[in-house]
Every structure is written in C-alpha cells, then in structure tokens.
Chains A and B, each alone.
Chain A
Amino acid sequence: MKLFSHLSLEGFSNTYVIATDSSKSCVVIDPGSMDSDLLKIFLKNEIDPELVLITRAETHHMAGLDTLRKIYQPETYGIESFDLSFGPKHAPDENGTADNLVDYRDISFNGFSVSAISFPGAWIDGSMYIVDGMLFPGAMFSAGGLREVDAGYPHALLVESLKSVFATLPGPTWVFPAYGPPTTIQVELRSNPALRRPLEHHALEDSG
C-alpha cells in the first residue's frame, strides 16, 4: 500500500491518495482541490481514482471533486445531504442520551478495506475512515488539537466519541488528519491537551 499526501493551497487542507502496490486504482480522501500536483500523482504512478471519500461536506474537503469527476469516474462516499451515497442515518439516539455515539460501516472496494465511522450523536455532518489500518479523521481532530465546538456538552460528547474510537484501534495506528502533520493514536492520547484534560464536571450526565 502506498500513501501520497497533497497540500491544497486553498484552505491548507490535506488530500490523501492511497494506492496498492499491484492495482491501478486508488482511493482519494478529501480532494480539497484538483490541481496539477494532484494530477501528477495519478499520472506518475499510473493510478486512477476509483473511490473518493469525503470526511465532511465542506469546501476545503471537496472543492476538487467536480473537476476530478470530469476526468475520472470515481464512486464517492460522504454525507447524504450533499448528494453523496454514505451518511449517518440516525440522528442522536431516540432517548436523547449519549448512547450509540459511534456507527461503523465497512466498504469493500477493489482490494481496499475501508471502514467508515460516523458520529450520529456528536457530529452529524462528518465521518472518519480507516483504510488499511490508517485513520483519516478529517477535521475532527488534528495533531495536538480538536475540532472547535462549544464548551460543555458538545465538547464532552466529541471527546467521548473520539476516545471510544481510539479504544478500538492499536496505539501505533497512523493518523492522517485533514489539517497539519500526521500523528498516531498513542501520541494523541499522550500529548493532545484536549484529550488529556479532564472533562468538565458531569458534562455528559447533566445533559440527560
């Protein structure tokens, strides 16, 4: 498996391209722009994008999608409301509790093993993906940082959701966020101030 990273100069978000050593198809995650550098990755390595994964239906994550679709015919997975075919189907749990924070779905595609993770309770418009054991969290968190949400319940819910995902993955798992440098699960649990800080008193319990 080969991984290429490309920095989009609009929004400074990362686009990732994953290819196998044998196949000519590749997976593209968050095409924030479709420029000549990204095209060079495809041409130089003789790979065609056949699957596009969007972590969030927001310009910096998908501005290059239209152009990409004019050149290639990739299947696209992302958020339902933006006419893409994957999305969190449940709203927060019926009882309004913090149960069922994380929803996993597996996508098998042309030699790639992809798990899509949504956060129906915490973040309705975003997904993370695990491809070949690597985690692509989009803008959910970055090395040493966490997506900005209101303090209190939303923050506590996001932290709890992330921790529940981290608990299912090995510590050395490589993480490639939409913004900034790569990291690992172990490093984030050790050094990310937002994840290390104790949650506000009973933030989750109080909301119920």
Chain B
Amino acid sequence: MKRRTWHPDDLQNELDQNGRIDRVSFDERTLVGIDFSGKTLYGCSFSGTVLRECTFTETVLSLCFFDFAELDRITFEHSRIRSSTISCATLKQCRFFDATLMHVSFNGSLIRDSVIQSSDLLACRFVNATLRDVVIADCNVKGSDFRDSERMNVRYSQCNLSEASGIRGSRVRSLF
C-alpha cells in the first residue's frame, strides 16, 4: 500500500485541514505534541516513530502500524483502534481511557507506567509483551491473549480475566 509523507513543519496544519488521514507515512519521525484528536487515521504508518505527548482523543485508527515505535505520554481517550499493530514498541506513561481496541497487537512491546481504564480490549494480543507498573481497570478483555508475556506489578480490577487467555485466572485456551 503506497503511502505519502508529509513535511514535518506542515504536519499540524495538514492535520487541521484534514478530518481523514489516508495512507500517510510518519515512519522514523519524531512527533512531539501533535494533536490527532477527532481525526480518522486509515492505513497510516508510524513504524519506528517517536511520539511524545501526542493526543489521540476521539481518534479512529484503522489498519495503522506503530511497530517499533516509541510512545511517551500518549493519551488515547474515547478513541477507537481497529486492526492495528503497536508491536515491538515502547509505551511509557500512556493512558487508554474509554477506548475501544479490537484486533490490536501489542506483541513484543514494553508497556510501563501506563493505565488502561474503562476500555474494551477485544481479541487484542500481548504475546511476548512486558508489562511493568500497569493498571488495567474496568476493562473488557474478552478474547485477548497474554501468552508468554511478562507482567510485573500489573494491577487488574473489574476485568473479565476468565475470558482472556495466557493470564492467571483465565480459563480460555488460545483461539489460534
């Protein structure tokens, strides 16, 4: 899928002028303080991108790739993420609140000092991920897969862990 690239200086302007961002490559860039709120991102690539203090409030992301990205203090509030990958990435002090994630892969990622709250994590994957000092509260984790993940100081509350797999208390065998 061929993707366009935007000049860094024009990025926020381009975002402000476009409600829907189709197939744009942000690969290997450093994005600081960019506001993606209310946008629809489709087929966009953030491979190896450094994102700091960016906001994805009420953002719809579909078929987006954040592999090997560094996400530092990123907020995903009321956002919908579908069929996307945040694999082999580093997430630090990120916050997912009232977000809907479906078919999102965090495989091989390091997630630390982060909060996932009041969100749907439907059929998401955390295979081989490392979670440190993470709070997962009031979340629907149905069909999510935590096989081979390393979890240190992860606090779950009000989650249906029995419907996930590869996690203590889960009763579901991996579907694949």
Contact = CB atoms under 8 A, between A and B. Distances in A.
Interface of A: 1-3, 5, 7, 12, 14, 132-134, 142-145, 148, 172, 174, 179-184, 186-187, 190-193
Interface string B100-139: 0001110110000000000000011101100000000000
Chain B interface residue count: which class? 20 to 34
Given A3-B63, A184-B47, A186-B67, 8 more contacts: A133-B1, A143-B105, A182-B85, A182-B105, A187-B68, A190-B108, A192-B127, A193-B147
B125 A180 contact: yes
B147 A183 contact: no
- Per DSSP, chain A at the interface is mixed
Interface in B45-87: 47, 62-63, 65, 67-68, 83-85, 87
A144 B124 CA distance: 11
Interface of B: 1-2, 23, 43, 47, 62-63, 65, 67-68, 83-85, 87-88, 103-105, 107-108, 123-125, 127-128, 145, 147-148, 174-176
A184 B67 contact: yes
A180 B87 contact: no
Given A12-B123, A190-B108, A191-B127, A181 B88 contact: no
Contacts of B145: 144-145
A192 B105 CA distance: 12
B47 A181 contact: no
A193 B145 CA distance: 13
A174 B65 contact: yes
A14 B174 CA distance: 17
A190 B88 contact: yes
A11 to B, nearest CB: 11
B40 to A, nearest CB: 14
Contact of B107 (A1, A7, A144, A174): A144
Contact of A180 (B1, B62, B63, B105): B105
B65 A179 contact: no
A142 to B, nearest CB: 5
12 contacts: A2-B23, A133-B1, A143-B107, A144-B147, A145-B127, A145-B176, A181-B103, A181-B123, A182-B83, A183-B67, A187-B88, A191-B108
A143 B129 CA distance: 12
B125 A3 contact: no
